[in-house]
Amino acid sequence: MKPQGQPMRGDGPVDQPAQTERLRIEPLQARHAPLLFDALADARIYSYIPDEMHASVDSLTRRYAFLEQGAPRAADDVWLNWALQRIDTSAYIGTLQATVIADSHAFVGYVLSPAAWGQGFATEACRWLVANLQSRFVLSGILASVDVRNLASRRVLERLGFDCLGTEAAELRGEATTDLRYRLGCG
């Protein structure tokens, strides 16, 4: 039984791959860097997110090795990251991220290669992510922030039943912008 209001570490197969109709979803590891580097080396991906494009496979490998370790032991957060692979072509197309925090919320995000845009992969992956989080943690809500200009990501969240809570001031590469905050109730 999961304690009310407390995220649980290790509740379920954290390190086991999963599968949806068209995607294989694997826990993100340093070994994924060379498999994802080319797919994520497109400047269009970074138009609306604070992440920077990695200059080399080595840089991406270091980042994934860091994420693979999870949140620091002293933190109450749980960091979860996955690599997304198409089943039909075996191509790696992006990543999913979730941070579960002690106040019973999870923050989610995703990054997909432009070659995978407009084909429903983000919706499919995020649908799996929401179900995974809801089955493993006691959550009052799942949250996401999206740059107001990122219409495709807004549509993904809305398709999944997320409600828009409003706007908040944000900054992207030193320029003022506006984010929309989304929430999906859990329970």
pLDDT tens by residue, 20-51: 999 999 999 999 999 999 999 998 998 888 88
Burial 120-133 (b: 16+ CB within 10 A, else e): ebbebbbbbbbebb
132, part of any domain: yes
Q: Which residues pair with 24 in a beta bridge?
A: 19, 85
Q: What is the pLDDT of residue 56?
A: 95
Provide the domain count of the chain. Answer: 1
E runs forming strands in the chain:
18-19, 23-27, 78-86, 92-101, 105-112, 141-147, 163-172, 175-185
177, part of any domain: no
- The angle subtended at Cα 72 by Cα 185 and Cα 39, nearest 5°, is 70
- The residue with tokens 């072509």 is 89
Q: What is the pLDDT of residue 9?
A: 44
CATH number reported for the structural domain that contains residue 107 in this entry? 3.40.630.30
* SS3 state at 114: helix
Q: What is the pLDDT of residue 16?
A: 85
Q: What is the pLDDT of residue 57?
A: 96
pLDDT tens by residue, 125-156: 999 999 999 999 999 999 999 999 999 999 99
Q: What is the pLDDT of residue 76?
A: 85
30, part of any domain: yes
Domain that holds residue 42: 18-140
Q: What is this structure's pTM? A: 0.90
